[in-house]
Amino acid sequence: MADLQITQLTAYTTPISTDLFPIVDITNGVTKKITLAALGIILLVASDSQTGKTASITSTDFPTAYTPPANGSLYRISYYMVVTTGNTAGTVTFNAIYTDVQGARTIPGATTLNTTAAGNNAQGSLFFEAETSAHIKYSAILSGNVGTPTFNVYTMLERIK
């Protein structure tokens, strides 16, 4: 490996916070190791786009199902929802679904999407600590509908710590 250039190395597409990087300590003139977590790098662990929805998105995995590591970690799930075809009345509520030390949890986002007009949007982020044993999931629940709205939901799951 010492005779390869960095551009010749195999790509690593699923880093975790305990992966190591070499770092040069210029004060002491030595090369040391450091983890992604010590660098404070936030890892995108999953994302999803659901478009053209006309009904609730019930408890759903990200395209790449994600289960937290055994020691538990802090996560942020961010969402953006937008109406593409409005209706007379209705809302969509985004929820994060995960398991912490107390058990299974479902927490709603702080903003709901009003489905009455195309272009209406809602966005937010939820922070939570999740433990291993269950995938982190999400839902977008449509309620109070009069008519059939169409909406898109974009989500991103990041491991903070």
Query: Mean of the per-residue pLDDT values for the chain?
Result: 89
Domains and CATH numbers, the chain: 42-159 (2.60.120)
Give the global pTM.
0.80
Average pLDDT value for residue range 77-81 = 97
pLDDT of the residue at 109? 94
Other beta carbons within 10 Å of 122: 22
Q: What is the pLDDT of residues 22-57, one digit of tens each?
A: 888 889 888 888 877 777 777 888 999 999 999 999
pLDDT of the residue at 13? 67
Q: What is the residue type of 149?
A: P
CA 67, CA 55: separation in Å to the nearest integer? Answer: 26
CA 147, CA 161: separation in Å to the nearest integer? Answer: 43
For every residue of the chain, DSSP letters joined together read -TTS-GGGSPP-----TT-EEEEEETTTTEEEEEEHHHHTPPEEEEEEEEEEE-S-EEEEE-SS-----TT-EEEEEEEEEEEEE--SEEEEEEEEEEEETTEEEEEEEEEEEE-SSTT-EEEEEEEEEE-TTS--EEEEEEEEEES--EEEEEEEEEE--
